[in-house]
Amino acid sequence: MSDKPTRAVRMIAGALGLTLVGAALTSCAAGSGAETIRFTFSKREAIEFMNELVAEYNSSQDEVKVEIDTSGVDVVSASFVRGNPPDIMLANYNYEIARFVQRCALTDLSDTEAAAGIRDDLQPLMDQYGSCEGRTSALPYSVMAASVIYNKEIFDAQGLEVPQTWEELLAVCDQLREAGIDPFYATFKDDWTVAQGWYDYTAGGSVDVIEFFDALAEEGAAVGPDSDVSFEKDFAEPMDRMMQLANEYTNEDAASRAYGDGNLAFGKGEAAMYLQGPWAFSEIEKTAPDLELGTFPLPMTDDPDDLGVRVNMDLAAMIPEESTHQEAARDFLEFLYLPENIEAYNASQLGFTPTEDAPSPDDPRVEGMTEYYENGQIYQGPSVLVPRTLPVFNYAQAMVLGASPESTLRTMDADWARIAFRAPIPTTEDSASGETEESTP
């Protein structure tokens, strides 16, 4: 293969003259003599976009041919066990994927041009899942921000301003109630909607998530009634406030309503606010294409400086150590991170681009989150920062359906202590020093 800079220049020049035309591009793929790499992509909603991007890359040069695999994370995990992992991955960054990072099964990407462009303030969020000493094993590709979705038409009709404090939020809810409007539409039948929205927004809006989980990991198996930090102590007030909103300001049938019901009802104007991420917009749009919607962070304290939006690393790029085509995989990696490609991808998904100086999405529905993302006022959802063996989705749902928050949080402490006893859970400080290779969730 020729040296990377030469091919990259040729590739970019070729790409400038291309127009994406689906199957026509695919037929122009790299010739039979090209080095073939397997590319795993886990975002099913964006397969069409990524297929076109892969076709563009294949058509722009004749030395590497990318074959896209969308079979999912379980198949990827099995391929690592068999010693035949993909050559490059773009996958949702969570505990399942981070196992490969912690076990040093991924190559160091710190010397790539792609890594040089990533925002520094996102690294602590990546490190919450652990790391491999001396390596940048994964690069964020798409950051998905989520917060309160609100009906601008209802707010305007009621003369309401977006609340920035807890007291202002309650005042908004009370005024909506007096007008006969449900403040929030809740879908408690689906546990993930409770965890992603109600639990994450209330906890993340009150607690320093990184600091809390670092302290919790330091406590390890000692977490409990007498520990300095615990779910029972630190999440008590957020859960009380979550229950106040859930009990007093939601639709009466919330316990039997699921995600699909919520999208339909919210599109019909049956409530003023909805605790969902931007993925709900396309569903709401199916029945209410002209509805004016916006977003704002859920205020959980009386200090506007505490406002922030929930984020997750919706996609991260990784190249396994056992890939036998690492140079070719790196070339495709650099193509993925070209500004015109990574920014176009994120714009198509209403995601935020993790590179420095990248523009934020210009969709007015998400502009209410832009200043918070740009200012680094972001947190990862507490529901995704625990191992799967701690069933936080079920616990969050149990609370909004009537279980005692105090008892539930105490159970979460016990679960955490048991998990930590079996396998120490890494802190971000551990990640910085590389002490996570044997720490598996």
Model's pTM, two decimal places?
Answer: 0.84
Q: Are residues 61 and 137 in the same domain?
A: yes
Residue 397 inside a domain? The answer is: yes
Q: Are residues 37 and 154 in the same domain?
A: no
Residue 390: its pLDDT value, please?
92
- pLDDT tens readout for residues 22-75: 434 443 444 458 899 999 998 988 999 999 999 999 999 999 999 999 887 666
Structural domains counted in the chain = 2
Q: Are residues 220 and 289 in the same domain?
A: yes
Phi-psi label, residue 294: left if phi above 0, alpha if psi -120 to 50, beta otherwise: beta
Query: Looking at residue 273, which CATH number applies to its domain?
Result: 3.40.190.10
Q: Are residues 306 and 317 in the same domain?
A: no
Q: Is the pLDDT of residue 318 over 80?
A: yes
Q: Are residues 296 and 321 in the same domain?
A: no
Q: Are residues 50 and 17 in the same domain?
A: yes
Residue 359 inside a domain? The answer is: no
Cα(174)–Cα(383) distance, integer angstroms: 29
Q: Are residues 229 and 305 in the same domain?
A: yes
Q: Is the pLDDT of residue 425 over 90?
A: no
Q: Are residues 170 and 318 in the same domain?
A: no
Q: Are residues 387 and 423 in the same domain?
A: yes
- pLDDT tens readout for residues 186-217: 999 999 999 999 999 999 999 999 999 999 99
Q: Are residues 387 and 248 in the same domain?
A: yes
Residue 356 inside a domain? The answer is: no
What is the domain range of residue 49? 4-144+312-349
Q: Are residues 214 and 337 in the same domain?
A: no
Residue 360 inside a domain? The answer is: no
Q: Are residues 53 and 176 in the same domain?
A: no
Residue 439 inside a domain? The answer is: no
